[in-house]
Amino acid sequence: MKATRVAGLFAMFLIAALALAACGGQAPAQPAGPAATTAPAASAVDWSTVRSAADGGGMEALIAAAKAEGELNVIALPDDWCNYGTMIRTFSEKYGIKVNSINPEAGSADELQAIRDNRENRGPQAPDVIDVGPAFGPLARDEGLLAPYKVMTWDTIAGVKDPDGYYYTDYNGVMVFEINRDVVSDIPQDWPDLLDPKYKGQVALAGDPRSSNQAAQSVYAAALANGGSLDNVEPGLEFFKELNARGNLLPLIANTGSIAKGETPITFQWNYLALANDKAFNGNPPLEIVYPSSVNWGGFYLQAISAFAPHPAAARLWQEFLYSDEGHLIWMEGFCTPARLDDMLKRGVVPEELKTKLPDPAIINSAVVPNADQLSAARELIKERWDSVVGLDIK
């Protein structure tokens, strides 16, 4: 991935961000308030077609329209994922908007399917916004499932951005092993170690690799650790086939509860999720977070608005909140590295205690990140061949 454009952007963004933490603050780069506009009154605006707050009359008009709608439907946002529980509560209290959380444990494919299934009725199961793996942004855009929108802080977002604003990077991380030390005493340090018979019935994926971005990327990372490449994911499937054949791979989806109970004592997680669990568990049980020695796998997620959002103004206000300094600080509290970190560090608005939660620059520098085309191809192959090669139904 280091040779790819996305990898370059990802590594340069994070390393520069961490390096700039010690530099002096600069003048704010983001807008201080609503831009002057001659747009029509909020009541006359069709917010489902608005591509920026200014186009709809400015932030005050957007806030008024979102409050009038009164609700926002989000999907696939567990409370402990990137601190989304705090994000949802803060947004709701700030604007007086009820946030309906649909299927928090859903995967990226499920998010797109929810848009497809509810595009006509736009009812309570229709998501307004999605947070998906990088392969799913272009897919959803090309299928006509997304609405273009550029937040006020658009120019300070680093990472992948659709030029028309159909999707853009929200946060980044790297893949780790999360291990319950109450169950596992001999800690595996790399992918080949997981094949040892001592780990029989102890290894689990944090999702169904046929639909979950995180789980699919676990297979992709395993491919590179076992002789594959960014264009050859087959060794990853073969690795999980062997894990299954030896009885080490569980048919269960690992989550915070199953990890804490020891039901899925070894799993693959984004570092921010493992760190959040470690903080929440507070030593009960004790966790070991291992950065595999053979491949340091990096990844990011994308934000987007549904083209069929039942609450189009609230959807756009949610995006504005996520990409504000306030929203980004909430993501950082959840150990996530947000897309506007560089700008925020330059302006000196990141508290010292939050800077300690950022990834080690050496880890980020060595991270391997596929580009969107590579990830899409790998995802399709994993989805198509998981049953025939691995033969284990993960649920």
DSSP string, 26-56: ----S-SSPPP--PPPGGG--GGG--STGGG
Residue 43 confidence (pLDDT): 61
The residue type at 110 = D
Q: Mean pLDDT across the stretch 71-99?
A: 97
Residue 319 confidence (pLDDT): 98
Q: Mean pLDDT across the stretch 154-165?
A: 96
Residue 41 confidence (pLDDT): 53
Q: How far apart are the first and last CA of the chain?
A: 30
Question: Do 110 and 125 form a contact (C-beta atoms < 8 A)?
Answer: no
List, for residues 162-210, the tens digit of each pLDDT value: 999 999 999 989 999 999 999 999 999 999 999 999 999 999 999 999 9
b/e sequence 115-136, b meaning 16+ C-beta within 10 Å: beebeeebeeebbbbbbbbbbb
Q: Mean pLDDT across the stretch 315-325?
A: 98
List, for residues 356-390, the tens digit of each pLDDT value: 888 776 776 678 999 888 999 999 999 999 999 99
pLDDT at 285 over 70: yes
What is the band of 10 on the pLDDT scale with cuts at 50, 70, 90? very low
> Cα–Cα distances in Å, from 372 out to 54, 89, 211, 221, 392?
30, 32, 16, 15, 27
Residue 364 confidence (pLDDT): 65
Q: Which domains does the chain have, with CATH numbers?
A: 5-21+54-172+299-365 (3.40.190.10), 173-297+368-389 (3.40.190.10)
Question: Do 176 and 272 form a contact (C-beta atoms < 8 A)?
Answer: no
Least confident of 22-36, 196-210, 254-268, 300-314: 22-36
Q: Which residues are CB-neighbours of 123 under 8 A, at least 6 positions away?
A: 310
pLDDT at 144 over 90: yes
Residue 11 confidence (pLDDT): 41
List, for residues 323-364, the tens digit of each pLDDT value: 999 999 999 999 999 999 999 999 999 999 998 888 776 776
SS3 helix, strand, coil % of the chain, rounded to 5? 45, 15, 40
* Rounded distance between C-alpha atoms, residue 286 and residue 222, angstroms: 25
Q: Which of the two residues, 271 and 28, has the higher pLDDT score?
A: 271
* Rounded distance between C-alpha atoms, residue 146 and residue 316, angstroms: 12
Beta-ladder partners of 71: 98
Mean pLDDT of the chain: 89
| Helix boundaries (H) for 176-250 | 213-225, 234-245
Residue 371 confidence (pLDDT): 86
> Cα–Cα distances in Å, from 146 out to 123, 160, 316?
17, 16, 12
